[in-house]
Amino acid sequence: MSFEYTVTYKAENNYEHAVDKAAWQFLIVPETNDTQKLIEVDFENSLNAKFEYSTNGLGFQTIRVSPLQSFQNINFKGSFKLTKESLNPFEHIPVFNIAENYKEIKSLDFKADFEPYLRKTPYTLLPKEVENIFKFDASESIFENLQQLNHWVYLYINFKTGVTNVDTKLEEVLKNKEGVCQDFAHLFCALARANGIPARYVSGYLHQGIGYFGDSQMHAWAECFIPEAGWIGFDPTNNLLVNDNHIKVAHGKDYNDCSPLKGVVYAIGKNETVHSVEVQSQQ
């Protein structure tokens, strides 16, 4: 069985004074992978400025826009159609050789192969006093430990919008125990890496029709590499494994690699940007 999704992404930018020069890069196009296939892409802006598609350093499609005229307001709209295969993540979980798996993740070859996703970053840096706040139980498989970590992060942070922003670091999240999906994903990645497991920050869209937590923008979750199983997706915001309601756009070490919108705007005065996302499903 497969599902067809339509995703609509909008960004509205308003500036106090006229802008003479600007450049943006959008990372909002769903990728094609083993479980999802991008069918159609439509992108437009209110200035009819020319844009181009390109590929970033991690291999994900971006859209670049650089208006040639002065402006004070500009709106963007991206529409994407894709199909997703029905996915039961537990169907692909093998019976693990627990001792061999822990031996493998401690090997130098493994650490070298996955170094980027074992690395501490500004967003996944744990304060020293809480580095051991979640320790794996070596008598259980890595997958079982990650499931427990998923549940632990879900309980530790209270999902609440407006209390953190894209610059919030883990020290503040751990102190206040409140945040959004970005904070859940960063904490999950940090604690998985602290236990020797490669973890990727993932940005994408979430079909929220069945009551999942998310927000009006893009969703975030994590992927971990488990010996014998490969990369498995975990959504600590909703305490579940990634399934056919998750539409992946990109992955990286943290939010900085996956920011949906980066730009340089030469302007003075105040500005405001409002994002919105709508995901519709047709089976």
Q: pLDDT by residue for the chain (283 residues), tens digit each? A: 788 999 999 999 999 999 989 999 999 999 999 999 999 999 999 999 999 999 999 999 999 999 999 999 999 999 999 999 887 778 778 889 999 999 999 999 999 999 999 999 999 999 998 888 999 999 999 999 999 999 999 999 999 999 999 899 999 999 999 999 999 999 999 999 999 999 999 999 998 766 666 666 789 999 999 999 999 999 999 999 999 899 999 999 999 999 999 888 887 888 888 888 999 887 6
Contacts of 36 (CB under 8 A, 6+ apart): 30, 82, 83, 84, 85, 247, 248
What's the confidence (pLDDT) of residue 215?
A: 61
What's the confidence (pLDDT) of residue 59?
A: 96
What's the confidence (pLDDT) of residue 62?
A: 97
Provide the 8-state DSSP code for 267.
-
**Planar angle of CA 179, 182, 34, nearest 5 degrees:** 145
Phi, psi of 198 (to 5 degrees): -60, 130
Question: What amino acid occupies position 176?
Answer: N
- Token digits of residue 38: 């991008």
In the chain, at which residue ranges do the beta strands (DSSP E only) sit? 2-19, 21-26, 36-45, 51-55, 61-65, 71-85, 158-159, 178-179, 199-206, 219-226, 230-235, 240-241, 246-252, 261-266, 271-282
Whether the Cβ atoms of residue 259 and residue 166 lie closer than 8 Å to each other: yes
The whole-model pTM stands at 0.94
Strand 199-206 and strand 178-179: pairing? unpaired
Please compute, for residue 235, the number of CA atoms within 13 A of its CA located in the half-sphere on the CB side: 24
SS3 category, 75? strand
Whether the Cβ atoms of residue 189 and residue 222 lie closer than 8 Å to each other: yes
What's the confidence (pLDDT) of residue 269?
A: 82
Provide the 8-state DSSP code for 196.
T
Please compute, for residue 39, the number of CA atoms within 13 A of its CA located in the half-sphere on the CB side: 9
What's the confidence (pLDDT) of residue 24?
A: 94
Q: What residue spans of the chain are helical by DSSP H?
A: 98-105, 108-113, 142-156, 170-176, 181-194, 255-258
Whether the Cβ atoms of residue 261 and residue 218 lie closer than 8 Å to each other: no
Tokens 């915001």 locate to: 237
pLDDT tens, position by position, 46-89:
999 999 999 999 999 999 999 999 999 999 999 999 999 887 77
Percent pLDDT > 70 in the chain is 96
What's the confidence (pLDDT) of residue 214?
A: 62
- Token digits of residue 126: 């744990």
In angstroms, the Cα distances linking 208 to 161, 216, 278, 280 are 16, 10, 9, 9
What's the confidence (pLDDT) of residue 134?
A: 97
Of 139, 36, 35, 142, the residue nearest 89 (C-alpha): 35
Cα 8 to Cα 146: distance, rounded to the nearest angstrom: 32
Cα 281 to Cα 229: distance, rounded to the nearest angstrom: 29
